[in-house]
Amino acid sequence: MAAGQDVDGPFVGLVAVVTGASRGIGAGMAGHFARQGIRVGLCARSAPVAPDGADALVAAVDVTDPAAVDGFAGEVAGRFGRIDLWVNNAGVLGPIGPLAEADPSALGAHVAINVLGVVHGTASFARHVRSRPGGGTLVNLSSGAATTPYRGWAVYCASKAAVQMLTEVVGLEEQASDLAAYAVAPGVVDTDMQALIRATPESAFPDVARFHRLSDEDAFVTPEWVAESILVGCVDRATRLRPAPGRGSVAFRVPDPPGRPG
Ligand SMILES: NC(=O)c1ccc[n+]([C@@H]2O[C@H](COP(=O)([O-])OP(=O)(O)OC[C@H]3O[C@@H](n4cnc5c(N)ncnc54)[C@H](OP(=O)(O)O)[C@@H]3O)[C@@H](O)[C@H]2O)c1
């Protein structure tokens, strides 16, 4: 059966944008959403391939370019009528290694993608949600690195901590338009990013052995499991997590799949 055809369920007909959908978590998420009958707007610097049978709009968009991100939001809303869910997934890990040895231009490029890229997507979506009734769901991909320090990942840890705080602030700012905001740490997913981690020498990333062990134990979650956890935890109004009183967002880690030994 083609993605989304003859599907029943609470998500049929919703519209989701996923940034960084050309590979890894974003590509897997796009496929899972489409199989639930969700119409998808997908972007990355290299235009993503639409999942089989999906009602999809794909484009090459660099999230560091606010006009390009806003233009893409407009195209998706124009094609599908609205956007219900926006997932800022695009991200990079490097430069890896002690901050004292990092190339300043590489640090700037990282912040432009991981922080400003999320800022631009969040701002575009917040404006869209303000423009029509019915609220919306913002999901920004965070990481355990937002709260656990890893030597060699100073700028990545800092960028993911920034993502968590900007999600919280925007959640507070946009309560009147019923924007539900989430910072989601996906767990460990075996993508190009994980391959890069395992290929890093211990001299640059002292905790690399932990990631080799996770790989040896096949302790990964799939992008599809991440996507399903987002639908249940952030989108479905019957099951989604709600911010604590006075808070603007929910930050959570994707749970382990049922049946996984602890
Ligand atoms: N994998 C994990 O275990 C893990 C754990 C915690 C958090 N995360 C987070 O999850 C997200 C996805 O990670 P992943 O593992 O799937 O990474 P990945 O396999 O390296 O994919 C990253 C995606 O981001 C896109 N991207 C990078 N720079 C971009 C830019 N300037 N503009 C638009 N798109 C851009 C890439 O496409 P192009 O190169 O074509 O632009 C690609 O589609 C990231 O935010 C990451 O920090 C991952």
CA distances from 32 to 40, 51, 105 (A): 10, 9, 36
**Phi, then psi, of 214 in degrees rounded to 5:** -60, -40
CB 135 within 8 Å of CB 191: no
pLDDT at 4 exceeding the cut of 80: no
Mutate to test the pocket of ligand 1, among 193, 200, 210, 218 (most ligand atoms within 8 A of CB): 193
Ligand 1 centre to CA of 180 (Å) is 23
| 150 in active site | no
Q: Shortest CA distance to 83 belongs to which of 27, 48, 131?
A: 131
Is the pLDDT confidence value at 2 over 60?
no
Name the nearest CA neighbour of 181 among 80, 83, 87: 87
**Ligand 1: nearest atom to the Cα of 90:** 24
Q: How confident is the model at residue 34 (pLDDT cuts 50, 70, 90)?
A: very high
Nearest to 170 by CA among 133, 127, 141: 127
Mean pLDDT on 81-110: 98
Q: Report the pLDDT value the prediction gives residue 17, as an integer from 0 to 100.
A: 99
- What domains sit in the chain, N to C, each tagged with a CATH number? 15-187+222-252 (3.40.50.720)
Tell me which of 11, 33, 156, 205 is the catalytic residue: 156
C-alpha 112/C-alpha 129 separation (Å) is 24
pLDDT at 226 over 60: yes
By CB atoms closer than 10 A (0-12, 13-18, 19+), residue 246 is exposed
Q: How high is the mean pLDDT of the chain?
A: 96
Reported as a pLDDT band with limits 50, 70 and 90, residue 5 is low
> From residue 39, how far is each of 58, 77, 107 by CA, in Å?
11, 11, 35
Distance of CA 76 to the CA centre of its chain: 18
Average pLDDT (29-58) is 98
Q: Is 143 in the pocket of ligand 1 (CB under 6 A)?
A: yes
Give me ligand 1 centre to Cα 155, in Å.
Answer: 15
| Distance in angstroms (rounded) separating the CA atoms of residues 199 and 194 | 9
Residues 127 and 104 sit within 8 Å (Cβ to Cβ):
no
Prediction pTM value: 0.97
Structure tokens at 92: 């990079």
Binning pLDDT at 50, 70 and 90, where does residue 84 land? very high
**DSSP-derived 3-state class of residue 87:** strand
